């Protein structure tokens, strides 16, 4: 076997090791461990298999023309270590002929087999290895390399690769038959690159080999530094003693726990990752799935979810489940206004964009020995989206993860209610509550904080509680992608050039959607203003204008836009924490005061900081219906009531000096009575299904939502439990559901 001696210098970036000492517990004993301790043991177990111990190789992978050889030599010089080029140092020395001669001599299939055998017959440590473009197509040799290496994918846009190969006068590569274009072959090969890489480096147009080499070293450093990306509570109080350890969580723990133990929400301890201008430009021609993979890889450490597994989840989430291949397309409405259509998922609302993915993230992160009951409060759309998303898990995962959705019995539209009830399945149930959304949400938070109850469920039934509302970081994070993707689509369609600012206008209740847009800006998307649109429950508008969050003598109004009929906006806490330089003590004081005295006032300097990026206003019921009517008359486009709220506010607040992207958060079919009233359609039927079918007969945009039409055929046959607005009653329902599903 050909062996290359290890190079000591590479230990500079590969010497980080982890203890191999573990507490061994059998399945039953582990159920009695505290949640934090069990998760710590899970993470240690993961590292015992996957952590980087000893002298790993840095293995550069990518298509022909990606620059693997050149970049590999630069890295070798920087580290003072051995550099191995598979073409020159292994294949040609093994075969005593050039690679091109071998390919011509034996043909594609035999070449791949002999190439793989040659790689299997060598070993190296502490080296930089530049693969051939076709190495990843041979499974056995890649498994051999991966055992002692970190595989770095040099991701170069296919259009750049084609240009480079022309300059290199390469007219044929392995696997290319007559009639197969270079572009098609490169697209075919991407599936193999995505299968094997540990970390990815975006090689944007114009990046020098030296810059790419530095990116590779940074990517390897991040891959190994598994403790570098942690989460804290918004109510965490920083110790005065700098040496005192901060109680942090990893991504997987934040997703599993949902709510922080102190009642706060989990946020990244450090800043959001940023993409440079060139990296963003390289995503302009990418699909939604490709954009999601790259952005979420930046935000989720591979120690929590390996890149290849994350890619599989994203492809599953945004594959056949969405009616539109673009997933979240942007449509020009009129003038400088664009509609971001977030309703093409299976339940017809923006919640699908996160809740088709979040269940897979959750299932991957949880330890195998515990059952989990997901508790969800919904103001309308979340309920059916959660039930649908978790119903798509594997059979094994559905046996250990169940969902209970609590919704205000009289606080959602008839169609939403029927849809929630109709979405019940073998591991998910709906419970109507005789109160409003704020009661449902507050009750669930209090259940999480009731250590006696949660401890009882863990000990008695081996079941842990968690959340899938936007208080859960795993639910909020995927929403960042569609705000970034919308901007890239405007660039792709030629409406703007990259770097030009846009405004976003978002119908806002719980503040999660608009906060995701803030995070997109943090990552590098040039959003100028965030326009917060409220309905008659305009507590957020008042707060942004005054800094006073006041619920005293304010009653929740039921409106045509029930998903934003919310008075206690959970995710506002995350934004204020960011604006207040992560002052957990201030967050604790403000939100305890809100709970006890029903109001709080922030200082003027913080108000001004919020107002630098945010403007806000609200829309009356009459204005909402008028906007639906006028938009349909002028453009043939039907807005749902939430989108109409946003359009009214955008018309009023936007100065028309740049484009404004209005988030359309639901398909109009879900609110047929309001739409028919707005369009002055008199044939209002008694059943929601008849109303939906009547609206679908109109030749309007957007087209009818087939999944919603299909749902109307079955939903009205099902029933759900209804309970009083009492915390103890809700807890009793939770225990019964746990008993029935897990025991």
Contact 720, 421 (CB under 8 A): yes
Residue written as token pair 């461990």: 33
Structure tokens given for 166: 């022309």
How big is the CA angle at 352 (ends 717 and 266), to the nearest 5 degrees? 120
DSSP state of 63: S
Structure tokens given for 695: 């609206």
Q: Which residues pair with 122 in a beta bridge?
A: 2
Catalytic residue, chosen from 281, 351, 647, 670, is 351
**Alpha-carbon gap, residue 225 to 313, rounded angstroms:** 24
Collapse the DSSP code of 445 into the 3-class scheme (helix H, G, I; strand E, B; otherwise coil) and give the result.
helix
Q: Which helix (H) or strand (E) holds 188?
A: helix 182-196
Burial class (CB in 10 A: 0-12, 13-18, 19+), 571: buried
Contact 379, 437 (CB under 8 A): yes
**Residue 502's Cα: distance from chain center in Å?**
22
- How many CA atoms lie less than 13 Å away from 88 in the CB half-sphere? 10
Q: Is 722 left (phi over 0), alpha (psi -120 to 50) or beta?
A: beta
Collapse the DSSP code of 13 into the 3-class scheme (helix H, G, I; strand E, B; otherwise coil) and give the result.
helix
- Looking only at the bridges linking them, the beta strands covering 122-124 and 2-4 are parallel
- Looking only at the bridges linking them, the beta strands covering 527-534 and 614-618 are parallel
Sign of the CA dihedral with 674 first, then 677, 681, and 686 last = positive
Q: Which residues pair with 505 in a beta bridge?
A: 531, 662
- How far apart, in Å, do the first and last CA atoms of the chain sit? 55
**Alpha-carbon gap, residue 136 to 596, rounded angstroms:** 60
Sign of the CA dihedral with 279 first, then 284, 285, and 290 last = positive
- Looking only at the bridges linking them, the beta strands covering 660-664 and 231-233 are unpaired
**Alpha-carbon gap, residue 201 to 221, rounded angstroms:** 12
For 516-557, strand residue ranges (E) read 527-534, 548-550
Collapse the DSSP code of 471 into the 3-class scheme (helix H, G, I; strand E, B; otherwise coil) and give the result.
coil
Residue written as token pair 């960011």: 578
Question: Closest Cα partner for 696 from 683, 678, 708?
Answer: 708
- Which residues, 6 or more positions from 40, have their beta carbon under 8 angstroms from its beta carbon? none
- Which residues, 6 or more positions from 469, have their beta carbon under 8 angstroms from its beta carbon? 258, 376, 377, 382, 441, 444, 475, 510, 570
Contact 510, 470 (CB under 8 A): yes
Question: Closest Cα partner for 689 from 665, 710, 668?
Answer: 710
Q: Which residues pair with 375 in a beta bridge?
A: 404, 467
Q: Which helix (H) or strand (E) holds 729?
A: helix 727-742
Q: Does residue 398 have an active-site annotation?
A: no
For 463-586, strand residue ranges (E) read 463-467, 502-507, 527-534, 548-550
**Alpha-carbon gap, residue 591 to 250, rounded angstroms:** 25
**Alpha-carbon gap, residue 474 to 361, rounded angstroms:** 7
Alpha helices in 96-136 (DSSP H): 99-106, 108-120
Annotated catalytic residues are 351
């Amino acid at each position: 076997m050909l062996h290359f001696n290890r190079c000591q210098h590479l230990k500079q970036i590969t010497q980080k090791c982890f203890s191999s000492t573990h507490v061994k517990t059998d399945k039953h004993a582990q159920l009695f461990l505290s949640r934090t301790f069990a998760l710590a043991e899970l993470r240690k177990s993961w590292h015992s298999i996957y952590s980087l111990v000893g002298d790993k190789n840095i293995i550069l992978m990518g298509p022909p023309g990606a620059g693997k050889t050149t970049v590999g030599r630069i890295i070798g010089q920087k580290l003072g270590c051995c550099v191995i080029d598979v073409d020159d140092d292994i294949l040609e020395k093994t075969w005593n002929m050039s690679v091109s001669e071998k390919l011509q001599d034996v043909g594609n299939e035999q070449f791949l087999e002999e190439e793989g055998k040659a790689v299997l017959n060598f070993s190296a440590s502490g080296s930089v290895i530049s693969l051939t473009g076709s190495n990843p197509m041979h499974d056995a040799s890649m498994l051999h390399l991966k055992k002692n290496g970190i595989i770095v994918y040099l991701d170069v846009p296919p259009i750049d690769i084609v240009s480079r190969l022309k300059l290199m006068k390469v007219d044929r590569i392995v696997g290319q038959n007559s009639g197969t274009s270079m572009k098609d072959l490169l697209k075919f090969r991407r599936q193999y690159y995505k299968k094997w890489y540990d970390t990815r480096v975006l090689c944007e147009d114009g990046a020098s080999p030296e810059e790419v080499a530095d990116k590779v070293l940074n990517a390897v450093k991040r891959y190994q530094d598994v403790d570098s990306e942690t989460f804290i509570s918004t109510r965490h109080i920083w110790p005065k003693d700098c040496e005192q350890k901060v109680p942090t969580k990893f991504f997987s723990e934040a997703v599993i726990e949902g709510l922080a133990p102190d009642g706060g929400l989990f946020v990244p301890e450090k800043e959001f990752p940023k993409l440079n201008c060139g990296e963003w430009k390289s995503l302009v021609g990418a699909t939604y799935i490709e954009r999601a993979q790259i952005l979420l890889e930046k935000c989720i450490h591979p120690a929590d979810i390996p890149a290849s597994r994350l890619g599989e989840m994203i492809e599953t989430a945004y594959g056949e489940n969405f009616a539109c291949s673009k997933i979240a397309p942007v449509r020009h409405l009129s003038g400088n206004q664009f509609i971001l259509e977030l309703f093409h998922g299976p339940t017809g609302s923006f919640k699908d964009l996160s809740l088709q993915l979040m269940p897979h993230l959750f299932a991957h992160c949880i330890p195998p020995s515990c059952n989990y009951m997901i508790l969800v409060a919904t103001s309308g759309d979340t309920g059916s989206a959660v039930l649908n998303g978790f119903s798509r898990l594997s059979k094994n995962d559905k046996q250990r993860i169940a969902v209970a959705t609590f919704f205000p019995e009289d606080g959602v539209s008839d169609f939403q209610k029927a849809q929630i009830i109709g979405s019940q399945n073998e591991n998910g149930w709906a419970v109507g509550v005789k109160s409003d959304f704020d009661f449902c949400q507050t009750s669930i938070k209090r259940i999480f904080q009731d250590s006696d109850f949660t401890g009882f469920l863990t000990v008695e039934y081996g079941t842990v509680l968690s959340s899938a509302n936007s208080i859960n970081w795993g639910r909020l994070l995927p929403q960042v992608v569609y705000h970034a993707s919308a901007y890239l689509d405007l660039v792709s369609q030629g409406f703007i050039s990259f770097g030009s600012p846009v405004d976003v206008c978002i119908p806002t209740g719980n503040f999660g959607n608009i906060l995701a847009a803030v995070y997109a800006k943090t990552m590098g998307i040039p959003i100028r203003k965030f326009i917060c649109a409220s309905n008659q429950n305009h507590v957020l508008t008042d707060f942004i204008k005054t800094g006073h969050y006041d619920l005293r003598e304010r009653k929740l109004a039921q409106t045509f836009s029930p998903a934003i009929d919310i008075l206690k906006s959970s995710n506002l806490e995350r934004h204020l924490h960011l604006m207040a330089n992560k002052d957990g003590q201030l967050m604790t004081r403000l939100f305890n005061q809100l709970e006890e005295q029903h109001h709080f006032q922030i200082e003027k300097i913080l108000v001004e900081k919020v107002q630098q990026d945010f403007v806000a206003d609200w829309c009356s019921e009459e204005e909402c219906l008028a906007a639906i009517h006028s938009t349909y008359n002028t453009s043939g486009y039907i807005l749902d009531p939430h989108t109409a709220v946003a359009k009214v506010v955008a018309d009023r607040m936007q100065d028309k000096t740049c484009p404004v992207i209005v988030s359309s958060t639901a398909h109009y079919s879900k609110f047929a009575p309001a739409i028919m009233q707005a369009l002055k359609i008199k044939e209002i039927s008694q059943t929601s299904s008849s109303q939906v079918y009547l609206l679908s007969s109109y030749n309007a945009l957007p087209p009818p939502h087939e999944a919603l039409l299909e749902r109307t055929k079955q939903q009205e046959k099902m029933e759900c439990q209804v309970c009083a607005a009492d915390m103890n009653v809700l807890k009793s329902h939770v225990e019964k559901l746990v008993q029935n599903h897990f025991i």
